[in-house]
Amino acid sequence: MLHTEVFLTQISLNPLPGSDFLSPSSKIRLATIQSLARAQQFILGRLLLAQAASKVLGIEYRANDITEGEFFPCLLKAPHLHASISHSGDCLGVTVNTERVGLDIECCRPKANIAKLAKFALHRDEADWVNALKEESQERFYQLWTLREAAFKAGIRDQVIRGSSLIAGDSIKVDWYWASERERTHRVSIACLAPCSMVLIHKPGL
């Protein structure tokens, strides 16, 4: 069983840090970001990744040893580890593991039209499942949405991009492994080809 630790932080609790500690490739990527808020997310994400990598390795891992891949950051000095990062609203999360784990975080909007969103964004069977119980529709929608995104990031793409449903009968049934938890304002989910569990670790300030 892969015990996956997800490091979470609240973006607004962290002042905008400088960028001197970033790797050359991260500085190049940062230079393309116009939004100050997005720049803060980017820098904090690399700081949080360094902390997560340090925890896994048992030694200090520095943010300037994180390079930018085509789709996700890479740990230059620990190529056997896989990193995943996600943010939504004021929440930022990362995970670092020996297996490829996809992480997705989504801010749960209480006033969102879930019935409409489900029909637009999900498979028909999934939308029917989401809307079957009105009192559970929001939880069901964000669970499915984040699981699909997490699976895509984990490289499990056939089932989530070819129109197939994650629902069989009245429950989620897939041929990969996942874990999902609801925070106060967010849904956090992971997906992996290996059996996994998830622990959320809150880091108020970086």
> What is the reported pLDDT for 149?
96
Q: CB atoms < 10 A from the CB of 173, how many?
A: 10
Q: Whole-angstrom Cα distance, residue 135 to residue 2?
A: 33
Q: CB atoms < 10 A from the CB of 4, how many?
A: 22
pLDDT above 80: residue 64: yes
Q: Which helix (H) or strand (E) holds 126?
A: helix 124-132
Query: Which tokens sit at 112?
Result: 């969102």
Q: Whole-angstrom Cα distance, residue 33 to residue 45?
A: 14
CA distances from 177 to 1, 51, 52, 100, 174 (A): 10, 25, 21, 12, 7
In this prediction, residues 93-118 reach a mean pLDDT of 95
pTM: 0.95
Q: Whole-angstrom Cα distance, residue 67 to residue 104?
A: 21
Evaluate whether 73 touches 84 at the Cβ level (below 8 Å): no
Q: Which helix (H) or strand (E) holds 115?
A: helix 114-121
| 3-state SS, one letter per residue, for 16-79 | CCCCCCCCHHHHHHHHCCCCHHHHHHHHHHHHHHHHHHHHHHCCCCCHHHEEECCCCEEECCCC
Domain ranges, ordered by start, for the chain:
2-106+185-202, 108-175
Burial call 69-96: b when 16+ CB within 10 Å, e when fewer: eeeebbbeebeebbbbbbbbeebbbbbb
Residue 37 pLDDT grade (very low, low, confident, very high; cuts 50, 70, 90): very high
pLDDT above 90: residue 21: yes
> What is the reported pLDDT for 50?
98
pLDDT above 90: residue 205: no
Place of tokens 């997800």: 6
Q: Whole-angstrom Cα distance, residue 144 to residue 3?
A: 22
Q: What is the CATH number of domain 2-106+185-202?
A: 3.90.470.20
**How distant is the alpha carbon of residue 109 from its chain centre?**
17
Per residue in 133-185, pLDDT (tens digit) is: 999 999 999 999 999 999 999 999 887 876 789 999 889 999 999 999 999 99
The overall average pLDDT reported for the chain is 95
